[in-house]
Amino acid sequence: MQLPTPEDLKKRRNELGLTQSELAKRAGVSQPLIARIESGDVDPRLSTVRKILNAFEEAEREQQIIIRDLMHSPAIHVSPEDLVEDVVNLMHIHGFSQIPVLEKGIPVGSVSEDLIVKLMGESKKKSISQLKVSGIMGEAFPTVSPGISISVVSHILERNPAVLVIEKGTVVGVVTKHDVMKLLQN
């Protein structure tokens, strides 16, 4: 077994599009140590090299997973004209905590448990249940194409509960944080 040189490690990190900080976090070491290893200032322990190589392998696996393989299709959704009561029932049946709002196949908003609970605290239950979705919906979820990698979608999901997958102008699927977390079980 030939150990990689500092140049080899830096080249592979750059090919994977990782910063020194991202690699350090994945490998469980400090960013200054990565910088020193790549510059040749320090000769790392074998265990440290193994951690770095494992981090590279993990990053490669993530980049090989594309959203088409992970998304739920068809995307269960509601329309702006649906009643909140119907949305709550649909979310309950499917175990969703949020749901996209589509109008003629185009994302126009979203409804989440958090939003409904907030509205319930501000009003009476009956008055909310008979409202139309268009009167309470939040912003639409971000959209991506089906060929995008899981690493890109993971970053989007850090700030959003779900991502819609659009192909040829039509919503073909949805990916949630829960879907990405399920990858850890494999």
- Per-residue pLDDT for the chain (186 aa), expressed as one digit of tens each? 688 999 999 999 998 889 999 999 999 999 999 999 999 999 999 999 999 999 999 888 777 778 888 888 888 999 999 999 999 999 999 988 999 999 988 899 999 999 998 888 877 655 788 889 999 999 999 999 998 888 788 889 999 999 999 998 889 999 998 888 877 665
Residues 6+ apart with CB under 8 A from 13: 20, 23, 34, 38, 56
Closest alpha carbon to 97 in 141, 146, 129, 151: 141
Q: Cβ-count burial of 72 within 10 angstroms (0-12 exposed, 13-18 middle, 19+ buried)?
A: middle
For domain 68-185, the CATH architecture is Roll (3.10)
pTM of the entire structure? 0.64
Q: What is the CATH number of domain 6-64?
A: 1.10.260.40
On the question of a common fold for 6-64 and 68-185, the answer reads: no
* The pLDDT of residue 1: 63
Query: Per-domain residue ranges for the chain?
Result: 6-64, 68-185
